[in-house]
Structure 1
C-alpha cells in the first residue's frame, strides 16, 4: 500500500472511531448551582432534576452521559466551540437563543416570580419596584427581561454569576428583591433557614417573548441527529414512566406544564 492510500485508510479509521465515540457518549453541560434542578451534594456529587433527567435520557438512548460542570453564562459559547455537545441546565427555549443554538422539545415549564421580604405587595413590577435593587442571574432569561423591562422602568438591576449569590444578597439586605424560577426560589431559598421572613410576591412572570416555551436541551445549530434522538428519548421516558419517577423525587406537582 502506498503512502497516499495508507493515509486515506488511517483517516477513514479515525473518522469511524470518532463517529462511534460520538454515538456512544454525549458531553452535557450543567451548572450544578441551581437547586433543585442541579446542585452538588455535601459529598461533592452532582444531583438534581436536570441531572437525573439527563441520565434517564442517556439510558434510553443507550449512550454514556459525560457531565461537564460550568457556569451558566458560558454554556452556549462552550457548545459553539465543541467543548460540550448539549446543555441540560434549565435553559429556556427562546427565540433569541434559537438564533445561536437548536433545542430539543421542552422537558419542563415553570414561571418566574419575585422574592421579597414577606408583607411586600407587587401589583405592577414596573411601577412598584422603581428605585429598588433587584437581583437576577447573568445571561438568564430573567436578565434579558430585567434589562429590557425593569431597568427601563427605573429599577436598579444587579447581575450575579449564579442565582444562589442573589439569594445570599437578598437575605443579607443588599437586595430588595430577586427574580428567578418559582420552583428554584421556593425550594432553594424560601423553604430554607436563610429565606425565613421572605415570600414569593407579585404576578407570575412568563411572557413568551422572554421566557419562551419551557426548558429544553440546547445543541449546536444544525445538529439534527442529537435533536431528533433527544426528542425521541423525552417522549419515551414520559411514556414509560421514568420521567414521572424522577419528577416525584423532587416535586409534588406536575412540572412538565401545559
Structure 2
C-alpha cells in the first residue's frame, strides 16, 4: 500500500510540474533571395564560375551551380534550385543557353518570379528576369558573362557589374569578386548585406584532382560579406598556389 501511495504521489508530481515554455524561434525567412550575381567564363583558361551577394543567410547554398567543361548557372529571386542542376544537364546534352532557358521557364508555373543567368563552356550566355521579380530587377549578358539582380538599390547596380567584368584582368575568381564590389559600390541589394559566395570550376581543379571545384568559398553570415570573401580568397591562394 505504501509503495502504491508513493507511486501515485510521484505520478501526480510529474503531472503538476509546469512545462517550460517553448523557445521563441525567429520568423521564417523571406524565400525571395534578393541578390545580385555574375556568371562568367574565362576565355583564356576555360574556367567557369559564379559570384553572388545577398541579404540572405547562406546564399552560396542556393544560387551558384557550375560544372567544368559544361557551364555555370545562377538561380535566384524566388529561386527554383532545380534550375541549377537541370540547367547543367541540358548544357551537357548540347543545348545552347537560350534553349536551356526556354526549357526551364516553360516547365515552371512560377517562372515569372525567377531570375537566372547561364553561361556555357563556349561563352554563350543568357540572363532572364521574370516580370514578377521585385524592383529593381534586371540583367545583362554578352560573350562569356551574364549579370543580374533583384531588389536592388537602383538601375546602376547591374551595369556596374558588367563594366567591372569587361575592364578587369587576372584570374576568374578575382574578377568575379571585383564585380560584386562594383555592384555594392552602387548600392547593391537594397535590403543590405549578409552572405556571399564565389564558385569556380576547372577540370580536376579540386583537392588532389578528385573533382572540379577549384574555388568554392562561402561567407554565410557577416556584416561585410564581400570583404570577408575577398580575404578568404587570398587565404585560398596561400593554400593552393596558382601555378598553371
TM-score, normalising length: structure 1: 0.27
Of structures 1 and 2, the larger Rg is shown by: 2
TM-score (norm 2): 0.28
Bigger relative contact order, structure 1 or 2 (CA pairs below 8 A, ≥6 apart): 1
